[in-house]
Structure 1
Amino acid sequence: MKKFASDVYGKIRKEVFTHPLIYILLCAILDLWHNHKPFLIGPITGLKGIFLGPFYYYLIAPFYLIGRGNPAYPAVFLSFTTVMAIFMLYVLGTKMHSRITGLIAATIAAFSYNIFTLSRWLSNPTPMLLLSTLLFWFLWEITIGEKKKIYLFWVLAVLTIGVSLHFESASAVFYIPLFFVFSIWQRKKLPPFKYILIAGMFFLATLAPQILFNFRHDNLLFKNFLDLLLGEKAFRGITKFILEERAKYFWGVYSGKIFLGTGVLITTLATISASMLFGYLPKFKKHLILFAIFFITPIVGYTLFQGNYGNIYDYYTIGYFMPLILFFALGMGELTKHWGGFIIVALYFYYFANLNLVPIKNYLTATVATRPIAIEDQLQAVNWVYDDAQKYSQKFNVDVYVPPVIPHSYDYLFLWQGTLRQAQSCKPTLCGLVKTENLPVLYTLFEADPPNPQRLQAWLERQKGIGEVLEESKFGQITVQRRKRL
């Protein structure tokens, strides 16, 4: 078991592909553990001045502590939440239809290249794969259960919505109108006032940190939210262009999670799957209404929402990926009960495997030259700087170029590795790294930037006027140089 755990850690360490914004949160967690600074807000959203709640920070903080600051540990945990989501998807598919449906849903989720890569994303949206599956499960239990036996599921559904707002608000914000529509549909099963009050208190508790932060900072969040709604007019009328663009987006999301693109065959399979449900409407009436509420509500919301300069990204809908897979699997599961259905399902999985298994294999077997920059490369570069500086017992400065010119990742990595070295042998100066004054020794570190080589070239030209290169080393797509300041 120890060897297995070590192998898993080693693999993840090479696979943790980093994004600069990830390290902002790691610096915040560093403040929590070492400087005892709790936080009331979490990561920033894609909307100007709007922040998520802090639960994501607190969720991964213990794994940061266990790993002594190593991002691979929270990355492993976040991947495990996706494994849990896949298992829950199997159970939910079995409950809603049959074991074969559960197996189809779990297999698609486990081997979809897009879900596979999302599960390895060290970022706040990742737990939404699990939370969305749980929310859909709770709503299904309410749909099929007897009134007196489902009170707890109402409370759990509201709590899940509140917690989800801490991870990816672009997905979770539409859980609120979705739940309102669902409550109207299931109004005869609404719980007694006591349970409604408990659910409301839980929901407010999930918002409490942001509310407190807002009041402590002169209504900052509230003002930014109002500016988004009124100043930027985030919700506007629908035009033909918007309808066409959103239709392409939603179809791309649906087909992309289950397949890896669009085409006639994909459209045909999706139509066959849906027709198996609509063709047996009395049998699947409750299923279809629940799926309709769960999907149509955000579709309407995203179509009306035109803030953020009209941009809408794939991960905005991460809170609907797993239910989308379940919807398709339900139709495929019903198809297996009919003559010739197994042949169609087998053909689907043959096509699915050809599209997804090759990219997954390439991902897992990628070399340093062919993979994105990983934390392993970054750590080698950072430790080369510290080792080289210690060799000459000298203080130094560092200047970093990271596409798109955001150095947060190395701010954290130098802080983390310097802190570890400082605890072991160095004096309390982060082993020579100085940020408050210009020193004769300057280390420049830069990552390859194929999309914008002109930016990197301009940065290197500027460095020529600052320092002369004395020594250089490369780690994958990262170059480190020791310079003598001019």
Structure 2
Amino acid sequence: MINSSYKKFFLSILTISIVIGIFSYFRLEPIISERVAYTFDQGRDFLKASEIVINKDITFIGPTTGINGIFHGAWWYYYLAIVFVIFGGLPMGFYIMQFILYLSSLILLIYYLNKYFNDQIALLFSLIIATSPYFITKSLFVANNTIVPVFVLSFLVTHFLILEKLPKSNKKKLILFFIAGLSLGMIAEFEFAFGLLLAPVYILTAIIFKPLRKNFTNIHQLLFFFGGLFIAFLPRLLFEIRNNFSQSRTLISFITDPQYHTPKTINSIFSERIHLFYDYYSGIYSHHWIMWIFSFMMVFSIVIMFKRKKVIFHNSLFFLSIILLGLFLVSLLYKDTFWPYYFDGIHYSFILISAILLQQFNTVNQKQLKTLLYLLNVAIFLTAIYSVITHIKSPKIYDGIKVQIDIVGFIQKIELNLNNYCVYIYTPPVIPHTYDYLFKYNSISKRISEPKQEFVDNKCWYVLEADPYAERKNDWINGHLPKDNPNLKLIKEKQIKDVTIQLWDHGPTE
């Protein structure tokens, strides 16, 4: 008996280790090779983190939203500032921390599913997440909205525990409600649109759904829930107090008199939302055949529930379903472009609903169903291994932050006077935050001065990124390069990917 238990434990550890290895490969390989997305937003946010740490420039608001005058929460910048300190400003440090966050979320989910469901379901969904195109993309893109899935998972898991496995200890109950409130608040702070739409859905659910409502009749649990919310919203509240509640007034104005850029008809909106939610669901799976098998099993599970009139975790199933349906319905009220990232992390709702439905197989004593689940695990496992092998053999594209790092490195390697030199940068977003942060990091780590935007010793470097609007690029060049100077001379030129690096000399000035 002991020997059998030991073998099962060893096999479980080995299997989970392989899953974590697969998960890590698809995320660490691009990080190690520096082939991760690095855009205007990343450069801007990394610079803001450096200002908070170096200049002690504390802010109470985060990045801009799609509504003028309303911002995401400042917690995004606080988080980046912490990462900045941990990694000493290393650009890739932000991506490493993103990987750590998503790995921690996976481990939390595995523990949760293994403890309250079973090891087969835990393995199944950990494999799906490890190879999921959606989760791979989010764990490699550093932005305020890509942190939201972490809090969505926390929000859903805490509510599962509240509805199904509420601890007997008062202390643990209060901690649970505090985390639930904090998670809800952080969803809103990291992606304002999600929080704005989730809030009314959650409030209505808490009112009409008795198993949830009765938990809020306990004053201590209610206070700890609002305590979590208060901490999440504290920077925003401080900003509002200092600025005459400007965001609140803007939000009220937007709700009462919305201004749309591209208003759509209700039929168009409904059709778009159907496709959007289908994309949320299908984006979880690495292959469509896996999605269709899962979908078939979900339908079969529903049939089992109706036939046996017994539902395992029925409170959580209702809660997740009503939240998902509510988010769909409330999203129909928005008549403008609805970007997919507004609901980043909603995928966990589909995952947990699927896990609960698969758990219904435990109510029937048919070995065929359990064998089917086992075979599905084996099939997805082999598919994941094949995907890793295929990815290893596939050619790697020279792209991402690696290009900008190489450009900055080239200039600073060739430049003779690193204490005083000039660099002009053209990027389609106009403001070159991406390069500015890389120059700043080198000034911190290598004690190399940041470049000036005026000719030094008659010379200046020009970094010219590709732009599909050639006229816009030419206008910028004409405005920043003294072509009317007869002594102007191009003395060095280098092409790195689709970016041109030039060193110009305008000769002696009179």
Matching residue of 2:279: 252
Query: What is the letter of the counterpart of residue 205 of structure 1?
Result: I
**1:397 partnered with 2:397:** no
Q: CA deviation at 1:111?
A: 1.3
**1:54 partnered with 2:80:** no
**1:162 partnered with 2:189:** no
| In 1: Cα distance, 2:40 partner to 2:140 partner | 16
| In 1: Cα distance, 2:500 partner to 2:45 partner | 25
1:213-292 to 2 correspondences below 5 Å = 213-232=239-258, 239-259=266-286, 266-267=291-292, 269-277=294-302, 279-281=304-306, 282-284=310-312, 285-292=314-321
Q: Structure 1 residues 142, 364: CA separation in 2 closer, same or farther (over 3 Å shift)?
A: farther
**1:474 partnered with 2:503:** no
5+ residue gaps, structure 2: 1-23
Matching residue of 2:459: 441
TM-score by length of 1: 0.83
Q: CA deviation at 1:435?
A: 3.0
* 1:162-187 C-alpha deviation (Å, 9 max, x unpaired): 12222222333334234323423122
Q: Which of 290, 300, 322 does residue 293 from structure 1 map onto?
A: 322
Q: CA deviation at 1:393?
A: 6.9
Q: Is the 8 A contact 2:425 2:462 kept in 1?
A: yes
Matching residue of 1:125: 145
| In 2: Cα distance, 1:53 partner to 1:247 partner | 29
Matching residue of 1:136: 156
* 1:28-86 C-alpha deviation (Å, 9 max, x unpaired): 11111211111111222233332111112222323212322112112211211111111
Query: What is the letter of the counterpart of residue 300 of structure 1?
Result: L
Return the index of the structure with the highest Cα Rg: 2
**1:323 partnered with 2:323:** no
Matching residue of 1:411: 436
| Deviates most, 472-481 or 106-115 | 472-481
| In 2: Cα distance, 1:359 partner to 1:232 partner | 47
Q: CA deviation at 1:345?
A: 6.6
Residue-pair matches, total = 463
| Deviates most, 165-174 or 9-18 | 9-18
| Deviates most, 140-149 or 62-71 | 140-149
Q: Is the 8 A contact 1:104 1:329 kept in 2?
A: no
Matching residue of 2:228: 202
* SS of residue in 2 equivalent to 1:187: helix
* SS of residue in 1 equivalent to 2:461: strand
Identical amino acids, percent of aligned pairs:
18
Give the root-mean-square deviation of aligned CA atoms. Answer: 3.6
Q: Structure 1 residues 317, 364: CA separation in 2 closer, same or farther (over 3 Å shift)?
A: farther
TM-score by length of 2: 0.79
Matching residue of 1:42: 62
| Deviates most, 402-411 or 159-168 | 402-411
| In 2: Cα distance, 1:173 partner to 1:249 partner | 18
Q: Structure 1 residues 455, 373: CA separation in 2 closer, same or farther (over 3 Å shift)?
A: farther
Matching residue of 1:381: 407
* SS of residue in 2 equivalent to 1:387: helix
The runs of 4+ residues in structure 1 deviating greater than 6 Å are 7-10, 436-439
| In 1: Cα distance, 2:298 partner to 2:200 partner | 27
Q: Structure 1 residues 189, 166: CA separation in 2 closer, same or farther (over 3 Å shift)?
A: closer
* 1:10-36 C-alpha deviation (Å, 9 max, x unpaired): 943613321211121211111112111
Q: Structure 1 residues 222, 275: CA separation in 2 closer, same or farther (over 3 Å shift)?
A: same
Q: CA deviation at 1:194?
A: 3.1
* SS of residue in 1 equivalent to 2:502: strand
* SS of residue in 2 equivalent to 1:472: strand
* SS of residue in 1 equivalent to 2:101: helix
* SS of residue in 1 equivalent to 2:90: coil
